[in-house]
Amino acid sequence: MPSKTPIRYINVRAFAHATEDPEKVLTAIRNTLPKELGENAIFQKTSLTGHHKNPIILFETKLTDKQQLPAALEKIAASLSSIDKEKLDSEIKLHLEKRNLYLRFNKQSAYQGELRFSSNDPIHVKIHFKNKTPAEIVEICRHAGVLP
């Protein structure tokens, strides 16, 4: 990745449901990030109430350190299987909106240190790019190894 990052910020968030250990959910979220970024990230914790009055905690952080943002994209690239990269490539239009790339990772897999795509109760990652078209974002992702 070039030294001047094309990424403006990365939002990462996930819900911890009443049946989940909030610390394990936080660990899973941190595992989606490079070690230093994950350890230093400050998470906002919001208490919510579910449809059936069950307690839910929303963990959310916004990463803006321009020096470390490229490492987050590289971590994703290094952690994805070739099958997930191929799947993302074939569905990329579903993951792009305006200047954002949206990714959803399985919490259980992330807790175990692996990144796998999931749409069921995932860790949400939003990567916001500076003044880039969808085609430019795809090219940046290819260059970083997120796409084949």
pLDDT confidence tier of residue 144, bands split at 50, 70 and 90: very high
Q: Where are the domains of the chain?
A: 7-144
CATH class of 7-144: alpha beta
List the one residue out of 9, 5, 3 whose CA is nearest residue 99: 9
Please name which of 84, 98, 102 lies closest in space to residue 132, comparing C-alpha atoms.
98
pLDDT at 2 over 70: no
Report if pTM > 0.85: yes
d(CA 131, CA 6): 8
DSSP state of 41: P
pLDDT in tens, 24-69: 999 999 999 999 888 889 999 999 998 889 999 999 999 999 888 9
